[in-house]
Chains A and B, each alone.
Chain A
Amino acid sequence: MLAQNIFFGLIAVTMVLAALKVVTTRNVVHAALFLVVVLAGVAGQFILLAAEFTAATQVLVYIGAVIILFLFGLMLTQAQIGSPSSLDNDRRSLAGGTAVILFALLGYVLWDGFGDTELELTRVQRTAEVSDSIFSTYIVAFEAVSVLLLAALIGAIVVARRE
């Protein structure tokens, strides 16, 4: 349990620092690369939670595909790399206040609701169980997601295509 807590702390601190850089850095490409750190940290937390398949999917889909999409988006829109202050609008303090108040509220509710409830990881949730669950209980939702992905694919092509 102790080793898990140490690694949780290391990964969590890295994630929070990288996430802060994502929303504050003035270089858009650096923001995308810091986002990779956060997403890899999330995969690490999934491993700590014994969710192996979700961790693998996180790496494949997010770090493999979504980040590439972001980098292509940055490249195609020729966002001024390293341009100062134009990435943020002038409502930063308002946004910061909102985030802090939201965190205070969430923190109070979470501590009030769960306190120091122990998280007993009794077993690893195996990939076979996940697939059994997806293809039995959640089969309708799974098919809906398939159709949604197809629709998003066609929609993205239609929207971005040149006339």
Chain B
Amino acid sequence: MILNQFLFLAAILFCIGVYGVLARRNAVMVLMSIELILNAVNINLVAFGAFQDTVAGQVFALFVIAIAAAEVGVGLAIVLLIYRNKTNIDLDQVDLMKG
């Protein structure tokens, strides 16, 4: 195995996630795309940890997983609140603070 095969896989996943964040209109779908991005980063962290033969990569990936779980919880709560106030979760219509 070469290091770059994992890094390229992560890069592909990251770019797909970026596309999802930019192109999706449904707020829950945007959160899912963010999960794709975070997982791409985790692959990179673990791959570099294995490359350097240190557990630091795994530890950082575990922290990212914990933060991602917290992020999804708060994010979905906010989405729920938006849905309750506007009866849909279309991000293009959430422009209350637009100047």
Contacts and interface: CB of A to CB of B under 8 A. Distances in A.
Interface of A: 1, 4-5, 8, 12, 15-16, 19-20, 22-23, 28, 31-32, 35, 38-39, 42, 45-46, 48-51, 53-54, 57-58, 61-62, 65-66, 69-70, 72-74, 76-79, 86-89, 91-92, 94-96, 98-100, 102-103, 106-107, 110-111, 114-119, 121-123, 125, 129-130, 133-134, 137-138, 141, 145, 148-149, 152-153, 155-157, 159-160
Label chain A's interface by main secondary structure: helix
Label chain B's interface by main secondary structure: helix
List of 3 A-B pairs having minimum Cβ-Cβ separation, nearest first: A95-B22, A23-B20, A152-B70
B62 A130 contact: yes
Contacts of A38: 13, 36, 39
Contacts of B81: 159-160
B4 A98 contact: no
A145 B25 contact: no
A133 B11 contact: no
18 contacts: A16-B9, A23-B36, A42-B39, A49-B49, A54-B46, A66-B68, A91-B22, A110-B11, A119-B2, A121-B1, A125-B49, A125-B50, A125-B55, A130-B55, A138-B63, A149-B69, A156-B74, A160-B80
A35 B8 CA distance: 19
B30 to A, nearest CB: 10
Nearest to B68: A66
B92 interface: yes
Contacts, number: 247
A156 B77 contact: yes
B2 A20 contact: no
B22 A148 contact: no
Interface string B6-22: 11110111111111101
Contacts of B9: 12, 15-16, 45
B9 to A, nearest CB: 5
A125 B23 contact: no
B4 A77 contact: no
B72 A23 contact: no
